[in-house]
A and B are shown apart, each in its own frame.
Chain A
């Protein structure tokens, strides 16, 4: 009803050209959100005893001190080495494993159950055992990161293969494509969005795994900075590596999104929206 009334009104006076309102860019909204968040934190954080909490400006000062002394960079380097290796290995092994499990009925029946179980594995509880096997050094840290990141990547790839439309595979078959060609040229590209989602999910888990490894094996890297400053009741310094890790995860996520748009541009185009 309201529409009808409005249109009759519009008939008497020529309607003004509708001005297309451009929505705020996403990054503006994100930056505004961060600004509000930091301000609130600063205001309320200052009222708390500095042992129990901290606030952005104090953390910034602590960051500066750590950065100038060089301690931060050596810790970051120490942490990133097992992280990059474990995470990289998880991608290199998880994706083919997921393709294999999803692509072959027998493989799915034989191996799927371990992957599903492995995803829920309480890894922290297994760290002592891993230490017995691999010692306290670099190898065990790589293993912890690897094990945490492997399963989300593998499971997502597997689910992606299962979700490939049957008709697309029949297109391959109808042109007499061999199984391996169908896997490489139809199943793999159709699964790419799932693979990328798995790789993204794994970032968070890999970061957590890295810190767990540094807490429970040789205390080192950013994990050591956290523990040492916590032991000294230096809460502001403790927050520095925590925030660095979170920023790192966001950065990696963005990077993966960028890679996804580069290798699988059709996906965003099909969905009809730009992301990030």
Chain B
């Protein structure tokens, strides 16, 4: 199981700009649910609160109103039931790929041979078994993010939270990682909530797309593409892809829904 629910989640914070205090409503009564095994994309213009929503779900930021629940249990701070994939992977530079994956597992209390074997298993899952002893600076951007995904998956969370995980990668690497993510999802069945600013990515990967604007959920859109989607090149050519992409684009740009 792994169902994430946002219930009236609000987040307000103050900024001091040139001596004046500005109140920013980063999230304004956000409501949506990510069902078990589903992939949901959070999309919207920068500053719309999508990353804040993800951070609140992770427990890195506290909401000022409402609550987030995972399988009905309210989120208070970070927990092993959620695994976070950071925008720039954020591997610890002094640890090897293997040790980075082990770090998360150790925090969960795992040790001994089980620790090594589990870390190895997840590195193999992301295709990095051969590179397990390399340190982050010896890995390419795509490999780093694979390790980041392995690190989050290894602790076997109920939900994978991803903050623009492929945003910093070049186009080709991004495409192969998108395909790999779908493959991982097909194999592990994890619930995934991911933030992106890339329309194509949202439509290619997600089952549903939550469009945010100024801290509010503007619209939740279904993606009428069946799973599995083994060949994203084929998906790109489907009329449903183009249609959905256009609908999301319109929704983001003028707030109007196209029917």
Q: Which residues of A contact B59 (CB under 8 A)?
A: 174
Shortest distance between the CB of B133 and any CB in chain A (Å): 13
Decide if B80 touches A176 in the complex (CB within 8 Å). yes
- How many angstroms from the CA of A176 to the CA of B155 in the assembled complex? 11
Q: Name the contact of B88 in the complex, choosing from A167, A172, A266 (C-beta under 8 A).
A: A167
Q: Which residues of B contact A181 (CB under 8 A)?
A: 107
- Encoded as 1 (CB less than 8 Å from any A CB) or 0, chain B from 194 to 234 comes to 00000000000000000000000000000000000000000
Decide if A167 touches B103 in the complex (CB within 8 Å). no
Shortest distance between the CB of B83 and any CB in chain A (Å): 8
- How many angstroms from the CA of A174 to the CA of B55 in the assembled complex? 10
For B107, the closest partner residue in chain A by CB is: A175
Decide if B78 touches A173 in the complex (CB within 8 Å). yes
Decide if A175 touches B104 in the complex (CB within 8 Å). yes
Decide if B94 touches A269 in the complex (CB within 8 Å). no
Shortest distance between the CB of A252 and any CB in chain B (Å): 25
- Encoded as 1 (CB less than 8 Å from any A CB) or 0, chain B from 110 to 138 comes to 00000000000000000000000001011
- How many angstroms from the CA of A176 to the CA of B59 in the assembled complex? 10
- How many angstroms from the CA of A166 to the CA of B169 in the assembled complex? 21
The size of the chain A interface, using a CB distance under 8 A, is 20
Decide if B92 touches A168 in the complex (CB within 8 Å). yes
**Does B56 reach chain A (CB closer than 8 Å)?**
no
Decide if A266 touches B93 in the complex (CB within 8 Å). yes
Q: Which residues of B contact A189 (CB under 8 A)?
A: 92, 94
**Does B53 reach chain A (CB closer than 8 Å)?**
no
**Does B86 reach chain A (CB closer than 8 Å)?**
yes
User: With A167-B88, A174-B58, A175-B155 in contact, is A264–B78 under 8 Å at CB?
Assistant: no
- How many angstroms from the CA of A167 to the CA of B148 in the assembled complex? 13
Q: Which residues of B contact A170 (CB under 8 A)?
A: 60, 84, 86, 90
- How many angstroms from the CA of A268 to the CA of B88 in the assembled complex? 21
**Does A9 reach chain B (CB closer than 8 Å)?**
no
Decide if B92 touches A269 in the complex (CB within 8 Å). no
Q: Which residues of A contact B77 (CB under 8 A)?
A: 176
User: With A264-B94, A266-B135, A270-B93 in contact, is A177–B107 under 8 Å at CB?
Assistant: yes
**Does B108 reach chain A (CB closer than 8 Å)?**
yes
**Does A130 reach chain B (CB closer than 8 Å)?**
no
Residues of B within 8 A of A (CB): 58-60, 77-80, 82-84, 86, 88, 90, 92-94, 103-104, 107-108, 135, 137-138, 155
A selection of 30 A-B contacts at a CB cut-off of 8 Å is: A167-B88, A168-B90, A168-B92, A170-B86, A171-B84, A171-B86, A171-B90, A171-B92, A172-B107, A173-B60, A173-B78, A174-B58, A174-B59, A174-B60, A174-B83, A174-B84, A175-B103, A175-B107, A175-B108, A176-B78, A176-B79, A176-B80, A176-B108, A185-B92, A185-B103, A189-B92, A190-B93, A269-B138, A270-B93, A270-B137
